[in-house]
């Protein structure tokens, strides 16, 4: 696929041009954050990117459980998480909640964010339910800041409404680079992602590429690293598989 155009980005207030240029998705050392990822329900790009962010953020030695909440419409559109398709280190630690309504999903998510025994929380909400207003978003942000549990909310087929999320992404699948040893084999996942809102980081477009390491910042074992560049940039994400939702 052709390279994304370069963009001239002004550094945010309080951040030097060098710091802005060096930042990339998945930098370690960042605190817990409330992040939204907008994607369509036709593919698993949003949930896969949320998992990749989570894997990069948490300590590899962290063996706490993690929470994944879906409302009924999200479950209908994308299906349940398929444990064998999840990253190996997360399969046995998943707590999955299938909520009957958006209101129930928001309640479960907020309760999860208040629990420090969880490594992180991922939510999937379809559309723009009335319950997911700015007040609900602000409650999420406050819970994340107070209890330190990272949170990624995948917004399926939703418009960009008001939110207090610290980062907001829009992600689409991209063509995978051909494998090195077998060009006919399936390639690692790739995404075209737009960071359209962030506090403390410049917005822009990134090319996110995955490998088997399922990490974003390349601090894992040799060969699992990331050559991130601002094309906006590059990142990695783990494979995600789904099974059909129960009728």
pLDDT at 1 over 80: no
pLDDT tens, 187-244? 777 788 899 988 877 788 888 776 554 444 332 223 333 333 344 333 333 333 344 3
Provide the pLDDT for residue 157.
96
Q: What is the mean pLDDT of residues 94-102?
A: 97
Q: Pairing between strand 190-198 and 204-209?
A: antiparallel
Query: What pLDDT, on the 0 to 100 scale, is given for residue 156?
Result: 97
Mean pLDDT value across the chain: 77
Residues in the chain: 247
pLDDT tens digits, residue range 121-167? Answer: 999 999 999 999 999 999 999 999 999 999 999 999 999 999 999 99
> Is pLDDT of 21 > 90?
no
| Per-domain residue ranges of the chain | 29-173
Q: DSSP character for 146?
A: H
* CATH architecture of structural domain 29-173: 3-Layer(aba) Sandwich (3.40)
For the chain, the 3-state helix, strand and coil shares in percent, each to the nearest 5, are: 25, 25, 50
Q: What pTM did the predictor assign?
A: 0.78
């Amino acid at each position: 696929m052709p390279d994304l155009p370069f963009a001239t980005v002004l550094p945010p207030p309080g951040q030097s041009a060098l710091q802005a240029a060096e930042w990339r998705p998945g930098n370690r050392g960042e605190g817990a954050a409330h992040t939204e990822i907008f994607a369509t329900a036709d593919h698993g790009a949003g949930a896969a990117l949320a998992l990749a962010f989570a894997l990069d953020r948490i300590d590899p030695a962290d063996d706490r459980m993690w929470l994944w909440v879906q409302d009924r419409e999200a479950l209908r559109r994308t299906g349940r998480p398929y444990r064998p398709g999840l990253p190996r280190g997360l399969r046995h630690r998943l707590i999955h909640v299938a909520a009957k309504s958006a209101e129930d999903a928001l309640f479960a998510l907020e309760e999860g964010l208040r629990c420090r025994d969880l490594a992180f929380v991922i939510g999937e909400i379809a559309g723009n339910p009335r319950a997911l207003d700015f007040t609900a978003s602000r409650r999420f942000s406050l819970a994340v800041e107070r209890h330190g549990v990272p949170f990624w909310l995948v917004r399926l087929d939703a418009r960009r409404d008001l939110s207090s999320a610290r980062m907001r992404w829009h992600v689409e699948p991209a063509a995978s680079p051909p494998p090195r040893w077998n060009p006919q084999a399936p390639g690692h996942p790739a995404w075209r992602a737009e960071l359209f809102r962030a506090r403390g980081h410049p917005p822009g477009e990134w090319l996110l590429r995955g490998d088997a390491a399922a990490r974003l910042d390349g601090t894992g074992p040799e060969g699992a690293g990331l050559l991130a560049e601002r094309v906006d940039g590059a990142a990695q994400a783990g494979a995600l598989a789904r099974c059909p939702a129960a009728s």
